[in-house]
Structure 1
Amino acid sequence: MSGYPLDIGLATRTDPARVLEEMKRLAVEQLGTLPHNLAQGVEKTLQASAGGPSFEEQGALQLLRQHGASHVMRFRQQIASGFDEFRGPLSRTAGAELNLIDEQHLDLHLTGQRLAEMLEQRYQRPLEVMKQRLGSVSSALGTHVGPNPVAPARLVGAFISTYGDLELPAAFHGVMFRQYQLALGRVLDELYVRINATLATAGYGADVASRRTTPLPSSRPWNEQALEPPATRQPDPPLARSPGAEAAAEISMAAPVVSSRLAGELMSLRSQLHARRRQAAEIDTDAHRRAMQRRPLQSRDVLTIASVMQSEPPDTFARALAASGRLADVVRDQMLEGARRLGLGADGLRLGEQEEDAIDLVSMLFESLFRTHTLEDRARRVYGRLVLPYVKVALAGDALFVQPQHPARRLLDAVTEACEGNDAATPHDRELLERASAVSQRVVAEYNEDMAVFELAHAELEALLVQQRRRGEMQESRAAKATFGRERLAQARAMADAALDTHFAARPLTSAVAEFLSAPWRHHFVQTLLRDGDECERVQQIRALGHALVEVDALAEQARGRELADRLVALQPSIVLCLGSLGLDENAARHGVAMLVRDLATPDTERRRQAVTPLAGDEPANDDPKLWLAGGTATVPHDPGVAAVIRRLQPGEWLRMVDPQGEACSVKVAWVSPLTSRLLLVNRRGMRVLVAAPEELAAMVASGGVMLGGERTPFSEAMRQLRQRLDHAVGQH
């Protein structure tokens, strides 16, 4: 391998002062708008509260508005000064005055302390990594380690320094803290990732590597030397790596969350891959014998070849993704072609078992992503660019497959989220596709064993995906409200129709009474049910009016004029109210009453049995009218056990569904109806896919249209499909 080193030059650390300035820029840029957003959030919260803001709270809001610009400036200065203190912590003892703190300010500081402790716990891992990296920066500056300028305690302190002098109600301070907590959560997720990545790329954090004595199992390379005891193992040839690469690799391994379940599944997958190769060798023994006579390429040679070919156009891999099962063969062919181009002699070479594993796993992973997610053709070039970088990640170790928070794993999830179902129909969808393409090009251009590249690419794409998720949540909410509204309307109409059917079944009626009950009375009944519920007194009065009109019709038929007149006079206000619900003014409503009285005045008016006619538009629109059965139904053939499992699903759980075009897609349970127990299923963009009862979904499970047990992230779901594919392939032989 020594004859073919990777083309990476030895780099030095970036000037620490420049690194701190870049960190300051990021922090001020992302945190500096919080005061402005905070004031808006507080105002919306108080406006949405019962009764709206009190007089005292309105005054506090006015005070926030008046000093909004100064609050933004003061807060930004507080953030910036944290970096100055880090360079040289100022002494706080000389000349310090001890003052008593009033009760309000004491409560403010105690609340801030609780918020800081909660944020410290939430962001414990990235803060520990940042602390170690900032220690390296301090060493480079030749100063003592100062306080982390973006630590939660520092950010809470900046908040208190900005707003602590305002005379605000105690409850108002509580609302402000809650809004500040929400705003920080939205910013810190991205900010901490970007600051850690900036430090790693600049070369700070190598001291963490020196403190590590025992490498994690997931960080060992897949080669034969990794199996040798440490005492007898020969060191690898020195490989030039930038400090940023070392820092990113080591820090990304700092206290990594390695899933024992995923590690066990990976061992099983590799065993199945080996079994499949043995089966293929038994079928074609001559080809296997010739292949085994060739010299295996060393891991470092394979990495070099992949690095050289990484920047080439992705068309070959993009075309292979269109044909299931072809990608791994294409990658092998390209690697051997690369070996020939580098002068290694492809005719006498073969790939080792570990390299075969890495290529097979990555290829099947990418193919599974296309099989299990609705990825458009235009996304193939994005994924085609990423094939070789991910092969390199897999060659470096098994961390990609056993660490749920591995940067490359998170990036692939983000790219899939951006591309799934994205037909570029809207400007935002086009922007997402362009950003996904840009980050894939960034990985190709910059990745050379430095995991920070994946972190930065993920942070860049994640910033846009956050907006998409918020839009998706709004779409889910609108879809749930619309569905619930239709259900309530259908329920109210069903109750009104049942009551109307009771009246029609009682006796033959004149057309005037039948028309009144069918239109204004039924409409008024439905509107009152929707507005007040079925237990309210007004609904009972409307029911009573319906019964009374049937009795009035009977009095008219019997020519009992005086009783008829008395009843109609008593019923007139209720009748006018029903007619008014149709939008008639008082004169028109009284005219309608007169027409009703005129028809009832003649005893021999024709009377006949009436039938309830459904109103036009009673049936809600649905993509599949066969799947709209309110409340579920036992008439659909289904497995009761599967239906019981579906009833236990909660919002946020994922399923797999085959759309009408036969393509599988991920769907999420967004809402479960409290009226009918139907489930609202949406895609990753929050758009409604289906609304169906548990029994209907159980029938779809039996027909293969729905698969239970979908994974939450695209990477995990693709790995699950990969396992099933290997189970099937190995089990067939």
Structure 2
Amino acid sequence: MSGHLHGVAQTTRTDPSRVLEEIKRQTLEQLGGLPGTLYAPIEEALKAESLKGDGRNHQYEDQAALWVLRQQQASHVMAFRQQVGLGFEAFRAPASAVGGLGGSPLQLVGEQQLAFDLDGERLTESLEQRYLRPLEMLQGRLKMLSASIGSPTGINPFGPYRLVKAFISVYAETQVTESLRLRLFREYEHELARLLGDLYGRINNLLATAGYGVGLGAPGAPVRAAEERRERNTLDDVFDTVPHRESSTPMHDYNAAMGGYGGESHAAHGHPGGARAPNYGGHDPSQPVSQADVAAMANELAELRSQLHAWREGLVKSGGLPPAHMPQRSMAPRRELRVDEVVGMASLLQPEPPDAYARALAVSGRLGETIRDQLYDGARRLGFNPDQTCFSAEEDDAIDLVALLFDSLFRNHALQDRARRVYARLVMPYVKVALTDNEVFVKREHPARRLLDAITEACEGNDGETPQDRDLLERASSISQRIVSDYNEDLAVFELAHAELDALLAQHRRRIELQEQRAAKATYGRERLGAARGQADAAVRERIGEARLTQAVADFLATPWRHHMVQVLLRENEDPKRRAQALALGDALVMADRLAAENRGRELADQLLALQPIIVQCLASSGLDDSAAQHGMAGLVRALVTPDNERAEHPLPSSAEVEEDVAEERRLYLAAGTTSANHDPLLAERMRQLEPGDWLRLTNTQGETIAVKVAWSSPLTSRFLLVNRRGVRTLVASAEELATLASVGRLVVGAERTAFDEAMRQVRRHLDRVI
């Protein structure tokens, strides 16, 4: 059964009242429960902060206020649905819209209401910029709808302004703290960013199929579509999709940095897919695909095909295609091969060794040529003359998309050489999938798509060092062999294979989480040790400084006492009395040396007797037993009781050296002048808003790009721990250093959660750039 989609354009218009009611139903169905979804993530974030024990006083107040909100959850949901519904009534009859969302008489505004209004304005502006293109298209269709109703065009009832006003009307009168208010706005923005792209796509197609502005979004405007994608791609160069999650830091102007950097973040959040395929297939798999979904996917496929055709035409004109691969469908003697004939060729080639594809994957851009060469060979074996037949446009599209997809996977994911053969086996089965069911390129629940995601997760960055990693590689390899042997146009093979591999990956994900936690703890321990050493070095430099001391006292301060200070700061930093006592010992030794120099023997003796137990304790903390500590004490006393011992200035201790592995890590990613000295402040502010779970793409000094995740943010230095997909530490860097990396093009914020989505986004950007 073919999966090719075809859009249907209607020239007759459906009753506008029925259309508006359907839009209202879909809007309430998708957005009506939003207030009820905000509290759980905020509660989890507050619990995590309280477990961290970072000392913020507002946590308990936030938790108490959140508990009150949760008790009123049902009423909040009802009030929100009512306000959204009032927006539709105001659109239907703008002149009669009084109260509710339509405005209110002038009056004094309280501080909380003013704060809500200001945050609401910022959120509205952010959403309007983010969804600028779909909102412009929808506004044109709504204008036609209003004209059919016979009323002036009102405010878009499902636009950002109305949705934000509905949100404010629900919460403006509640008793919430400032930080909780910001959390509510942040979570509301996150939920809208997750839902609005799909909602606007559905409504746009609903209006189009109902006859309101049929030509506005038709796939027959590839030039404008390409221009829009190029705009998005330019803005995506630094910021891609970054889902908004709960931040542990209250941010009053949480969108200021995003809006201040040329609008990149707004554009990158334009819809959940950025420059890639929208999540038209992101619905519940148990629910049937609606007509709007089908139309949206058809439009998306048509747009993708127009890109491919323009790309191929460019290759032909530039001579980038070998003569045997030139499209020659216009020549009379050549017959276009039917899809079933090409599928038969692919089935013939499917069980054969994948060496040719493995070699092609090692060279970017060669896979498409290799696939065609192999298919031509299969055609000869089946009795077709390649000089008298050619591929149809749809068959060329399927071949090119599979080739570009696999090339993109290898360019943008850390796949080892061992994984190349796994993917090479899958090339021909995926060509068959693309020929018979092109929904694989736009539908996220497609079984073949999910299997490729799972295989990439198993292989990415996997060098087989541990038994678990080797088991993953072996399972991925065996599954690819099973696909080759069993796939015969039945997608159930992909479903079963994905279920098996995903069960193994679930255990692997838990190990990765533990690995991330260990990396975070190790990094935090290093930071605490470095901070303690820095404070101890500063204390030593302060006491040695320009003072003229005996060699014994200077050595004692630079070694045992410094080590003792580090131990106290690490183990007993919360005890100010112990810290003060340790600092006082250093001051007392400097004073004892001065008394000795002035030959004030009695005072010196009293001082040393008083210091003896503390000095012995200090020496013991360096690992000396009681007898060695007593011996060290005696040597110090001997040096001090001799007044004419030489005293001089002593060199200050150098700062602690950076561990070799950390130094290598920083050389690999922060070399060539990558410092925080000349960073963009706005870009750095955007980096500070990164949160655990955000994905980035990082390029090292050798030009290798890997996906990294923000695993942890240090409460001590505010630096970010970046780990790869195996949970292994990759880099620890400050927001300023990340901003500098982004400004030189070696860091891109935002990466897709799944490999297939990321690969398709890169394919689109590549096609746009080439076109």
> Please, what TM-score do these two structures have when normalized by structure 1?
0.61
Residue type at the aligned position of 2:755: P
Q: Which residue does 1:452 correspond to in 2?
A: 492
Correspondent of 2:743 among 699, 702, 711: 702
**Structure 1 CA distance for aligned equivalents of residues 546 and 420 of structure 2:** 68
**For residues 633 and 367 of structure 1, do their structure 2 counterparts lie closer, same or farther at Cα, with a shift above 3 Å needed?**
closer
1:443 is displaced (CA, Å) by 1.0
How many residue pairs get matched?
A: 482
1:452 is displaced (CA, Å) by 1.6
Asked if residue 398 in structure 1 is aligned to residue 438 in structure 2, the reply is yes
Correspondent of 2:761 among 709, 720, 723: 720
Q: Which residue does 1:691 correspond to in 2?
A: 732
**Structure 2 CA distance for aligned equivalents of residues 628 and 728 of structure 1:** 27
Deviations 1:410-438 (A, max 9, x none): 11111112222333344333322221111
Correspondent of 1:329 among 354, 357, 369: 369
**For residues 682 and 590 of structure 1, do their structure 2 counterparts lie closer, same or farther at Cα, with a shift above 3 Å needed?**
same
Asked if residue 276 in structure 1 is aligned to residue 316 in structure 2, the reply is no
Say which SS state the counterpart of residue 545 (structure 2) adopts: helix
Asked if residue 537 in structure 1 is aligned to residue 570 in structure 2, the reply is no
Residue type at the aligned position of 1:275: A
Q: Is the 8 A contact 1:486 1:620 kept in 2?
A: no
**For residues 312 and 355 of structure 1, do their structure 2 counterparts lie closer, same or farther at Cα, with a shift above 3 Å needed?**
same
Q: Which residue does 2:288 correspond to in 1?
A: 255
1:600 is displaced (CA, Å) by 1.1
**Structure 2 CA distance for aligned equivalents of residues 596 and 444 of structure 1:** 79
Matches within 5 A, 1:134-213: none
Residue type at the aligned position of 1:723: R
**For residues 510 and 369 of structure 1, do their structure 2 counterparts lie closer, same or farther at Cα, with a shift above 3 Å needed?**
same
Structure 2 unaligned blocks of 5 or more: 2-50, 52-208, 210-218, 220-283
Deviations 1:594-639 (A, max 9, x none): 221221112222111223223775656422455899xx99753333
Residue type at the aligned position of 2:304: L
Q: Is the 8 A contact 1:627 1:696 kept in 2?
A: no
**For residues 454 and 434 of structure 1, do their structure 2 counterparts lie closer, same or farther at Cα, with a shift above 3 Å needed?**
same
Asked if residue 651 in structure 1 is aligned to residue 669 in structure 2, the reply is no
Residue type at the aligned position of 1:484: Y
1:397 is displaced (CA, Å) by 3.0
Correspondent of 1:469 among 488, 491, 509: 509
Asked if residue 666 in structure 1 is aligned to residue 707 in structure 2, the reply is yes
Q: Which residue does 1:608 correspond to in 2?
A: 648
Correspondent of 2:459 among 409, 419, 423: 419
Q: Is the 8 A contact 2:710 2:721 kept in 1?
A: yes
**For residues 334 and 626 of structure 1, do their structure 2 counterparts lie closer, same or farther at Cα, with a shift above 3 Å needed?**
closer
Say which SS state the counterpart of residue 346 (structure 1) adopts: coil
Q: Which residue does 1:598 correspond to in 2?
A: 638
Q: Is the 8 A contact 2:687 2:735 kept in 1?
A: yes
**For residues 370 and 585 of structure 1, do their structure 2 counterparts lie closer, same or farther at Cα, with a shift above 3 Å needed?**
same
Q: Which residue does 1:442 correspond to in 2?
A: 482
Residue type at the aligned position of 2:421: R
Say which SS state the counterpart of residue 650 (structure 2) adopts: coil
1:445 is displaced (CA, Å) by 1.4
1:290 is displaced (CA, Å) by 6.3
Q: Is the 8 A contact 1:627 1:692 kept in 2?
A: no
Matches within 5 A, 1:545-560: 545-560=585-600
Say which SS state the counterpart of residue 347 (structure 1) adopts: coil
Residue type at the aligned position of 1:412: L
Say which SS state the counterpart of residue 479 (structure 1) adopts: helix
Q: Is the 8 A contact 2:439 2:446 kept in 1?
A: yes
Structure 1 unaligned blocks of 5 or more: 2-48, 50-216, 218-226, 228-250
**Identity of paired residues, percent?**
56
**Structure 2 CA distance for aligned equivalents of residues 477 and 695 of structure 1:** 24
**Structure 1 CA distance for aligned equivalents of residues 523 and 739 of structure 2:** 21
Q: Which residue does 1:371 correspond to in 2?
A: 411
1:355 is displaced (CA, Å) by 1.6
Deviations 1:525-545 (A, max 9, x none): 111111122652100111111
Q: Is the 8 A contact 1:252 1:451 kept in 2?
A: no
1:288 is displaced (CA, Å) by 5.1
Asked if residue 428 in structure 1 is aligned to residue 468 in structure 2, the reply is yes
Alignment RMSD (CA, Å)? 3.1
Asked if residue 388 in structure 1 is aligned to residue 423 in structure 2, the reply is no
**Structure 2 CA distance for aligned equivalents of residues 495 and 477 of structure 1:** 27
Q: Is the 8 A contact 1:654 1:669 kept in 2?
A: yes
1:663 is displaced (CA, Å) by 2.5
Residue type at the aligned position of 1:368: S
Correspondent of 2:722 among 668, 681, 690: 681
**Structure 1 CA distance for aligned equivalents of residues 669 and 595 of structure 2:** 43
Correspondent of 1:317 among 357, 371, 387: 357
Correspondent of 1:306 among 328, 334, 346: 346
**Structure 2 CA distance for aligned equivalents of residues 458 and 546 of structure 1:** 65
Q: Which residue does 1:233 correspond to in 2?
A: none
Matches within 5 A, 1:75-114: none
When structure 1 is superposed on structure 2, of 387-396 and 619-628 the one drifting more is: 619-628
Q: Which residue does 2:388 correspond to in 1?
A: 348
Deviations 1:116-143 (A, max 9, x none): xxxxxxxxxxxxxxxxxxxxxxxxxxxx
Say which SS state the counterpart of residue 445 (structure 2) adopts: coil
**For residues 252 and 538 of structure 1, do their structure 2 counterparts lie closer, same or farther at Cα, with a shift above 3 Å needed?**
closer
Q: Which has the higher contact order (CA 8 A, sep 6+)?
A: 2
Say which SS state the counterpart of residue 473 (structure 1) adopts: helix
Residue type at the aligned position of 2:343: L
1:661 is displaced (CA, Å) by 4.3
Deviations 1:24-67 (A, max 9, x none): xxxxxxxxxxxxxxxxxxxxxxxxx9xxxxxxxxxxxxxxxxxx
Say which SS state the counterpart of residue 665 (structure 1) adopts: strand
**Structure 1 CA distance for aligned equivalents of residues 607 and 438 of structure 2:** 86
Q: Is the 8 A contact 1:413 1:713 kept in 2?
A: yes
Decide which structure has the larger Cα Rg and report it: 1
Residue type at the aligned position of 1:255: P
Q: Is the 8 A contact 1:646 1:698 kept in 2?
A: yes
Say which SS state the counterpart of residue 312 (structure 1) adopts: coil
1:521 is displaced (CA, Å) by 1.2
